Structure 1
C-alpha cells in the first residue's frame, strides 16, 4: 500500500470484529520502533496486553475517566457523557491492545511511534483506536500493568479488524489551514 493511501484510509476505529494476529502485532510494533526519536534514544517500551482480566480493568478505568472520574453507580454528568463512556469501554472488545510507554522527555517520540503503528495497521488491513488516560487514570493503568517508576503512559492502542467500513472524514478545505510567514 502506498503511504498516501494509508494516510487517507487511516481512521479511528471504535468497533472491532477480531483482534490482530500475533504476527501482525509484531510487525506493527516493529514499525512503531522505526519512528524517529530525539537523539535516537528510542525511549519507548510496549506492553502487549492479552489477559482478559487486565483488559477489563483498563476498559473499566477508561469508562470511569470518560464519566468525569465518577465510578460506576454514581450518576454521570449527563446522558451524553454516560453514552460516550460506555462506547469507550465497549471499544476495547475484540481487539489486540498495546500500551505504549516512554521515559522522561520522550512524549513526542512516543506519538510518532503511535502514528507509525496506526499507518502500519492500515497497511495490514486493520484499524486502530488510540486511548489516552489523563486525570490520574494513567497512574491506575501503571499499577494494573505493574510499570516501574520512570515511565509514563502515552496511550493504549487497540488494533484489530474493523467491524465496519469507516465513513469518510469531513475535512477542512485543503489549504484552509495554511498560513505564510505569519498567522
Structure 2
C-alpha cells in the first residue's frame, strides 16, 4: 500500500510541476461590471461608427453617394440653404448694428428656410450634421443655427455660440465628428 500512496503522490507532483511550468492561470471570470463595461464600450463604438458614417455623407455627399444621387443633391442643397440663411442673418444683424440707435432698431426678424419644413431635420435628428458641416467645413463659430418649434411648424434661427448649450446627444455627435475628422 505504501507503493500506491507513493505512486499517487509522485504522479501528483509531476502534474503540479507541469502546471507550474506552463505559466497559465485559470481564466478570470468576468464580473457583471465587466460585462456591463464591455456592453457600454461596444455601444460607444457602434455610435461612433454610425455618426462617422452619417457625417461622411454630409461632408462629401457626392463623393459618398455618387455624382448623380438625388439624396446627395438634396444634402448639398440643404447645406447651401443653411449657409445662405446664416449669411442673410449676419447681413441683417450687421446692418442693424451700424444703423440703429436707442430708439430705432431691428427688434426681430424671421428667416424663412425650407430646412424648417423637412422632417429629416425637424424630427429625424439629422440637423446636427448640417450644423457640424456649417461649423467645421464653413468655419462658422460665432452663431449656432437652431430649429425652434412654433405651434405646428418650425422656424430657423441663430443663437450666439458663446451662450448656446447643445443637448447631450448633439454634443456627443459634435465631439465624435471633431475627433474623427478634424
TM-score of the superposition, structure 1-length normalised?
0.23
RCO comparison, higher one (Cα < 8 Å, 6+):
1
TM-score of the superposition, structure 2-length normalised?
0.24
Structure holding more strand per residue:
1
Structure holding more helix per residue:
2
